[in-house]
Amino acid sequence: MKKIEILPESLANKIAAGEVVQRPDSVVKELMENAIDAQAGKIDVIVKKGGKIIIQVVDNGEGMSEEDALLSIQKHATSKIKSLEDLEAISTLGFRGEALSSISSVSQFELRTKSGSDELGTFLRMDDKNVISREKISMERGTNISVKNLFYNIPARRNFLKTDATELKHISDTFNKIALCYPSIHFRFFNEDDSVYDYSPGTMEKRINDIFGEGISKALIKVEELTDYISLYGYIGKPTLLRKSRGDQYLFLNKRYVISKQINHAVFSAYENILEKGEYPFFILYLDIDPKRIDVNVHPSKLEVRFDDEKDVYSFVLAVVRKSLSTHDLVPNISFKQPSEDFPDSGSERMEINKGNESRRGDFSDRPLTGEQSKNRQRYSDSDIEKIFGSLTNIIDKSKSPEPEILPFEPDKPSETVVKNATRDGDSMGIDSVFIVQLHNKYILSQIKSGLMIIDQHVAHERILYERVKNLYEANLPFSQQLLFPRTVNLDPGSYQLIKEIYPALQKIGFELRFHPKSQITIDGVPQEIKNGSEEEILREIVDEYVNNIRQKNISDEKENIAKSYSCKAAIKAGDKLNENEMRILIDQLFATSMPYVCPHGRPIVVKISLDEFDRRFGRT
């Protein structure tokens, strides 16, 4: 007696429908996408009871003839593709021919449609036994689909639906995701006969403001990189839009909302240490690529995607987003606010850091000695730069007594720095005097157009070294400073084995080591930034920092760990005295990096205090 039976078609359809129609928002997604494929200029979505009672989608698209309408609700019936070649280059949102068939098998389904060439429209209704009744009706061109009592014939699936409010939230999110990608279409959304959203046609910027509010534009950075092979455009959020939960990441591939862990990771990586653990950036990105190079036919929901060369796409997105971040001013502003009504006992004033100031692409007027004002500036020679970054710490003699301090109000000893800057750089900056000074051998203070900029010299140099190490990894052309007298070092067995393990990565940044028995090594060469006499100390500190990064910061990538460990330990320290020339070169090199705002460990490098804040403090307002 046979045990295997072929399932009845009605039962097979209900099982298959579970992959396409998971909840009410799946119905909304499929019907809206069909309306867009039909070239609709206006789409209305009406729901009741979270979509459980009714979901209705009305569009003014091309519509269908009676013959096409009857075929549209059959399984694997579609007008989008006709051959295998079409499947390999999909340019429409729908193509599988499963949506209407699946939806009609798990609901009380009604379809009204009329094409532009027909005098009357077609009305189709499917009953409980999948019997289709049809009639001619009068209507405008387009399609009107009603899905009533979803999962009425699959009680188990209906019982797993959440509350009306939860299902409505999912539908609303789906509606907004689709509306984000098609700003030229008029979208309206109704819940229980109440108008919820009404997005009139317009630009992408207008649609973003309609959905997220007018104020969001000030906290967004524009992204745009167009090539023949791949293009990326859209917006990413400034640090003020960082969130503690996922959900505000919108990726559209060829105008289709998709979920891609690879692309998300590329965007997160571009933010580097701006993100703290558990934070996620806001972004709305549109990725256009040849349909032949992607596969969206991974799952019936069409939310997953595969690329023919994921590494190239990942690198492209990472580079473009990182470039967009680096070309905008993300320096935090410090101001002091009066106590609020909520905190009347908080003291006379409280400090506030604002990271969301509006800035424009390429506007570097608030960076010291950069931008258009620097065109006539003296340029530093290669020997100057090598002096600073080749052996910067060599010229810092900590053993000598400190120079006598020049008091700012001492009449016979005016500040040479201020006077010299006023004569040399005052005209190029368009101000009377430009200064750059070192505060307590820790911070660099520089005048900028809007006030005062303060730079932490250690983390600034750390950012510079970090990016140099990353570039050395990519170029694979290490430069080593050979020691006149190689240094032999005795290590504990653990440090010896660790250095031996990570030596290939150390070698790429300029270390040349020889390994001997009994945990002994010889240092023959070091990176150019390490000063004479500190080779052993720096190497030991790098090993300690490397271990600390693994244990406490969970940095598992070897090269990333070494880059952060080396840049931290080889950078100039707080307490190292710099002359004016060294400070200016440090600033130039900092703002030539891709991310001059935070160090590799996430600490801020730069803050600003506006001239308005000074005026307020001195009663000039």
Q: What is the CATH number of the domain that holds 485?
A: 3.30.1370.100
317 plus 340 within the same structural domain: no
Residue-number span of the structural domain to which 358 is assigned: 334-459+577-617
Shared domain check, 553 and 582: no
In a domain, 469, yes or no: no
Q: Contact 568/560 with Cβ under 8 angstroms?
A: no
Query: Both 94 and 135 in a single domain?
Result: yes
The reply to whether 85 and 139 lie within a common domain is yes
Binned at pLDDT 50, 70 and 90, residue 310 comes out as confident
Say which amino acid occupies 355.
Answer: K
Q: Is the pLDDT of residue 79 over 60?
A: no
What is the mean pLDDT of the segment spanning 69-78? 75
Who wins on pLDDT, 556 or 209? 209
Residue 383: inside a domain:
yes
Bridge-based pairing state of the strands 306-307 and 220-226: unpaired
User: What is the rounded average pLDDT for all residues in the chain?
Assistant: 79
Residue 474 belongs to some domain of the structure: no
- What one-character DSSP code corresponds to residue 604? B
1 falls within a domain:
no
* CATH number, domain containing residue 607: 3.30.1540.20
Q: Do 352 and 391 fall into the same domain?
A: yes
Q: Would you say 234 and 225 are in contact if contact means Cβ atoms under 8 Å apart? A: no
Measured CA to CA in angstroms, residue 13 lies from 18, 109, 154, 610, 619 at distances of: 9, 15, 12, 66, 76
Residue 436 and residue 584 in contact, taking contact as beta carbons nearer than 8 Å: yes
Average pLDDT rounded to a whole number, residues 94-116: 82
Is residue 27 included in any domain, yes or no? yes
Higher pLDDT, 366 or 174: 174
Q: Please give the tally of structural domains in the chain.
A: 4
Do 173 and 180 form a contact (C-beta atoms < 8 A)? no
Q: How wide is the angle at C-alpha 348 spanned by C-alphas 345 and 352, nearest 5°?
A: 95
Q: In this model, does residue 205 exceed pLDDT 80?
A: yes
**pLDDT score of 301:** 62
Where does a domain end: 301, 326, 351? Answer: 326
What is the pLDDT confidence band of residue 350, given thresholds at 50, 70 and 90? low
Residue 156 burial by CB count (10 A; 0-12/13-18/19+): exposed, middle or buried? exposed
Confidence grade of residue 398 (pLDDT, cut at 50, 70, 90) = very low
Q: Is the pLDDT of residue 251 over 90?
A: yes
- 299 lies in a domain? yes
pLDDT of 335 reads 61
Phi, psi of 301 (to 5 degrees): -70, -20
With respect to residue 560, please indicate whether it lies within any of the assigned structural domains.
yes
DSSP, res 8: P
In degrees, rounded to 5, the angle at the alpha carbon of residue 563 between the alpha carbons of residues 558 and 567 is 150
Gap between the Cα atoms of 587 and 514, Å rounded: 37
173 and 263 housed in the same domain: no
180: tokens are 């984000």
Whole-number Å distance between alpha carbons of 409 and 432: 19
Give pLDDT, residue 247. Answer: 74
Per-residue three-class SS string for 564-592: HHHHHHHCCCCCCCCCHHHHHHHHHHHCC
Chosen domain end from 286, 310, 326: 326
338 pLDDT higher than 60: no
Q: Indicate if 434 and 489 belong to the same structural domain.
A: no
- Whether 409 has a pLDDT exceeding 50, the answer reads no
- What's residue 364's pLDDT? 41
> Do 192 and 91 sit in the same domain of this protein?
yes
> Domain with 96 in it: what CATH number?
3.30.565.10
Residue 436, domain member (yes or no): yes
pLDDT at 287: 93
- Residues 47 and 195 occupy one common structural domain: yes
What is the per-residue pLDDT across 11-41, written as a single tens digit (0 to 9) for each? 555 555 545 688 899 999 999 999 998 999 9
CA distance 414 to 393: 28
120 with 230, same domain: the answer is no
Q: Would you say the pTM of this structure is higher than 0.85?
A: no
Tell me, yes or no, whether 308 and 382 share the same domain: no
The domain boundary, picked from 306, 326, 346, lies at: 326
Q: Are residues 188 and 219 located together in one domain of the fold? A: no
**Which H or E run contains 75?**
none
